[in-house]
Every structure is written in C-alpha cells, then in structure tokens.
Amino acid sequence: MSLPSELCCPTCRGPLAVEGVGAACRVCDRRYSGDRGWLDFLPDLGAAGDGLGPRLMHSRALARVYERLWRPMFFGVASGGLPDYRAEFEAVLAALASAEGGAVVDLSCGPGFTGRRLAESGRFTRVFGLDWSLAMLARAAADNRGLMRLIRSDVANLPFKTASLAGAHAGAAFHMWPDPASAVAEVARVVRPGGAFVASTFAHTRGLRRRLEVAASALGRFHVFEVDQLRGMLGAHGLVDFECERRGSLILFWARRAGAAAA
C-alpha cells in the first residue's frame, strides 16, 4: 500500500509513512490505523455528536437508509419539491471545473453517494471521502469498490498538506459542522490557489417558513445561514467569486481559492 502524496499528519503536519495497513507520522510518531477500510485520523474519538441532528449522523440505522430515504425526504421538505440528483451533480461538476485533473475531497461524505460519482466521472486524479461518523464510513466502505480513498477526520483539522488539493465538496453537511468558519479556514488552507470549493446547506427564507427554519435548527442543533453570511465567511478566508443557486431553503454555493492556479 502507498499513501497519497496529499496526506499529512493532522497533529503536527509532518510527513506520513506506511505502517502495515495504516500510517505513522515521521515527526510526532502518531499512529493511524487503516484496517477497517479507511485511514483513521481520529483514533481516540468515538461517535461524537451534540444534539439530535449530529447524533443521527452517527447512527448505523440512518447510514443504511440515508441516500434512499432520509436525504430525499429531508431535502424535499426543505426545497418544496422532489430532489433532482442529476441536476445537482451536474451543478457540482460545473463548480469543480477548475479542479479537473487534480485531487479533490468529498467532505462529510456520508455513505459515499456523491464521492463515488465524482470518482466515476474520471475528471479527477484522486477522490478522497472524508467523514467523522464510523457508521457512515462503514457504509461508504461497503459500497466503495476502490473508487475513493476513505478517511476519518475532523473537517476543522484536515489531514492534507497546504495547497495540495484542487477542490473540495461538502454536500448537505455544512450546516452540521460545529464550527463552520474553522472548517472553511481549513478548506482554504488545503485547496490550491485557483481551486474550487462547492457546498450545499440551508439558507434562511422569509415569513412563516423562516420561523419554521429557526425552530427546526434549534431542535436539530444545525445551522441555517444568511446568504451574505456565507459569502462573508468564505471571503474572510480567501475563497472569492462567491456564487449560489437557491431552491426554497436549500442553497448550493461555490467559490474559488484566491490566487493564480499553478501552471
């Protein structure tokens, strides 16, 4: 087994060496196992979650039905219509156009639905699928067919070298991150200049629907954003040229890492 060149130790940013089916840091000597189908950069943490929404993401039962039942139902309610996976994926590919020919990461990849399709597209040299949830990673590993390099890690402390990735995607996950701003800072660190970030989440609407969004976010312990809040958060960390598409409470947004792309 060889380790992808983009990876580094999340503890000290040191280089990694293969150790059995896992990895070891050459600087701080931390060990990371890889015997369950993914490289585990959170070996000391269990299935963490604070609030109903985050806790559900660590449920084995939900992982089994997430793509077939949960995601269509949840997004149907939020958007006011049936999900259109083909259109959604085409929009993601378009937003990742500048990342073609490079490595990308599917952040909070869940059971791997989008990550596998990114890999199958043949447009990227490597696709990483990253999640914190053991249940979601187990489901992703079962269906992976060698398409992605699966990783268990925290989105606010990514195990990638600075400017090593061409792009990052976070589908239906941004609102579940405990500290979205810290995660955005990490995305900006690991994506190369000119690289892309695309994500989908919830954004406030108006009137009665807005009050329902506030109540649901409080119950489920997830975020609902203002569009200007998202634009400002990304811009503060060097992710510029913000654009978005909305459908009800759902928003797909994308930006590029400031600076010229490598020649």
Q: What percent of the chain has pLDDT over 70?
A: 78
pLDDT tens for 92-101 read 999 999 999 9
Please enumerate in sequence order all residues whose Cβ is within 8 A of that of 64, keeping only pairs 6 or more positions apart, or say none: 139
pLDDT surpassing 50 at residue 52: no
Q: Of 33-47, 58-72, 223-237, 247-261, which range is least confident?
A: 58-72
Each residue's pLDDT tens digit, 12-41: 999 999 999 999 999 999 999 999 999 999
pLDDT band at 66 (very low <50, low <70, confident <90, very high): low
Q: Report d(CA 17, CA 39) in Å as an integer.
A: 12
Contacts of 158 (CB under 8 A, 6+ apart): 10, 105, 130, 186, 187, 189, 190
Does residue 262 register a pLDDT over 60?
Answer: no
pLDDT tier, 175 (very low <50, low <70, confident <90, very high otherwise): confident
Relative orientation angle of helices 227-236 and 180-190, to the nearest 10 degrees: 40
Domains and CATH numbers, the chain: 38-257 (3.40.50.150)
**Which residues share a beta bridge with 128?**
105, 149
- What global pTM score does this model have? 0.88
Quote the pLDDT of residue 172.
86
Least confident range from 5-9, 84-88, 243-247: namely 84-88
Q: With bands split at pLDDT 50, 70 and 90, how would you rate the model's confidence at 243? A: very high
Q: Check residue 250 and give its pLDDT.
A: 87
Give the model's confidence band at 223: pLDDT under 50 very low, under 70 low, under 90 confident, else very high: confident
Instruction: Give the pLDDT band (50/70/90) at residue 242.
Output: very high
> What's the pLDDT score for residue 217?
55
CB atoms within 10 A of CB 233: 18
**Residues 102, 155: Cα–Cα separation, whole Å:** 20
Is the pLDDT assigned to residue 88 strictly greater than 60?
A: yes
Q: Give the pLDDT of residue 58.
A: 62
pLDDT in tens, 178-215: 899 999 999 999 999 999 999 999 888 765 456 555 55
Of 261 and 244, more confident: 244
**Considering only CA atoms, which of 99, 104, 198, 199 is closest in space to residue 148?**
104
Report the percent of the chain where pLDDT is more than 90.
66
